[in-house]
Structure 1
């Protein structure tokens, strides 16, 4: 095994061993994920686009990689860092080792460093830019270059679908806007019989309405929500016209469209063990999360949104509801994948709101038009 180096923008250097793909130079935002299991779903979550993931659980890869647990076809992360990468996984579904999978996907890995030290540094300093290299170089020069690097701001456009596509169903018609959608969201809708049309991130309100949906779901996605102005405009144009449900980035886009502000978290929420309180029922969920931005608490005042969920670890906003229209959002992932399914019922609650329109709303109008034209 050859040496591999992680260089952080603050000048810290970690030396470990390489696994996965070889690399000449890869850089990105270094973040940590706190799940003990679910590494395959984490690796394939499009929201990690442009990021170097540090796994806090020390032993990763013990059950290998299979073809059933992916959240997208092609992983988007920059690199993976673990304390120890398992070379010989053992599981009846195993088809590839973690290292072989990363090699096939062109993703470098680094193992054998003190991941506890690295995570503690991120928690104290905040999220840092990092660079992974395989060769001995002038580290001072590399640090200088790293501090000059501007991370890309067009992450959503690089992970969204290019063309609309349909997953047929016989029940509610949903337009799912893909900002970097996890397949788990699509799976939860199709398992409930929904007719789902997945559309690109830059779809307009007029194009959404052409599909005559009962409701719109805004997906998760990577990066800063303020870098997705087309998503904010879409929500503004649909308010009062269709029920809307936002997840993660979709939650932030709804907040911006209604006049709130978003801001970066110090080191983000990434993992499958984040407690969230539902203020409407006083229940506590264990949730799956992956985000680096949050809706500013101060900005919620004097706008038509009310807080429905809060994170118990830091009291940040985890859910919102419009005071007049059927618009709801959560910062966490009710589809889990990986993670607990405590909040899975939010999909039923959203679909239940759509069914209230059957007698005189959108669905009734669509059915009447279909009958007249037949």
Structure 2
């Protein structure tokens, strides 16, 4: 049947509606990647987004659940240029999967025009509906992300790391498991005192979806934790820690989304391709007052992609390790383990005194 998407600026576009769900809403973002489609659609940071995918024939891509970044599809709806009147076997599989998850697809769309509109006005909210339904009703938001409860991985590891889960990606979890450390995964709402009871050697803030200010009530705890243990943070966690130390976060006109976002390391001037999916960024304004300084910057627009603190062993990254960039991920891991070793040495010295 026919479908309509109406942007917040009242621009409307029509296409073919597929799926039993007859209406939805969300922020419209675009994905120009020619690969990693499954990873992007299941990334927790895509939660609640209407995704405009530009690559032709994207629903002919291979369906491999082992590449999922979470246990489910995270997007609200998918918009594609691809016509689906004559379906291949793969197209049928994709349509059945989206239908099973209650996520509509609009095909035959003028994705180029929509993206030109987004480039002009920025990523904005929109409503989607099947043609015989009205656009006016207030649509219910998707259920909020349910963060994993306490879980312990590699329980015999000699180094004890606490992971605060804001919506952790499976690839990041797999990378962390490769540390062969004990990993205690906790809810993002865990207090500093509860974390202290676990006597961690270090703390990791995961990525996730939403605005970092949503966690403002926990900022004092987050800052206390980060000052107490060697800490690294990724994605949303990077933004949350920056805010907790007094930095400013701003909405980007359009986000960095894809697995080949070029960043350069300010110390070595080396350029790396990184995996990113975010619509907010850290502002340079008043950053110096927080004690942080940039460690990575975007080649594309100069945005902050990483931070290090001058007084505490804290390093944050806007991008995510996913096991595909050995040189960059070794740099992150080696720097963190050096901080862990130095911290252990300081503790041993203090106990000896």
Q: CA deviation at 1:137?
A: 4.8
Which residue in 2 is equivalent to 1:372? none
Which residue in 2 is equivalent to 1:259? 246
Which residue in 1 is equivalent to 2:88? 88
Which residue in 2 is equivalent to 1:352? 338
CA RMSD of aligned residues (A): 2.6
SS of the residue corresponding to residue 204 of structure 2 reads strand
Which residues of 2 match residues 148-227 of structure 1 at below 5 A? 155=144, 158-161=145-148, 163-169=149-155, 170-227=157-214
Q: CA deviation at 1:41?
A: 0.9
Question: How many residues are matched?
Answer: 348
Which residues of 2 match residues 224-263 of structure 1 at below 5 A? 224-263=211-250
Which residues of 2 match residues 1-374 of structure 1 at below 5 A? 2-19=1-18, 21-84=19-82, 87-88=87-88, 97-137=93-133, 142=135, 155=144, 158-161=145-148, 163-169=149-155, 170-335=157-322, 343-345=328-330, 346-361=332-347
- Is the contact between residue 175 and residue 321 of structure 2 (CA under 8 Å) also seen in structure 1? no
Task: Measure, in 2, the Cα distance between the counterparts of 1:312 and 1:294.
Answer: 14
Q: CA deviation at 1:67?
A: 2.3
- Is the contact between residue 46 and residue 159 of structure 1 (CA under 8 Å) also seen in structure 2? no
Task: Measure, in 1, the Cα distance between the counterparts of 2:267 and 2:23.
Answer: 49
Residues 13-68 of structure 1: per-residue CA shift (max 9 Å, x gap): 2211233x322210010011222111111111111111111112222132332221
Task: Measure, in 1, the Cα distance between the counterparts of 2:103 and 2:236.
Answer: 25
Residues 78-109 of structure 1: per-residue CA shift (max 9 Å, x gap): 1111222774367xxx9x82222111211111
TM-score by length of 2: 0.90
SS of the residue corresponding to residue 275 of structure 2 reads strand
Q: CA deviation at 1:324?
A: 0.9
Task: Measure, in 1, the Cα distance between the counterparts of 2:325 and 2:117.
Answer: 28
**Cα distance change on mapping 1:57 and 1:253 into 2, 3 Å:** same
Task: Measure, in 2, the Cα distance between the counterparts of 1:37 and 1:322.
Answer: 35
Q: CA deviation at 1:363?
A: 11
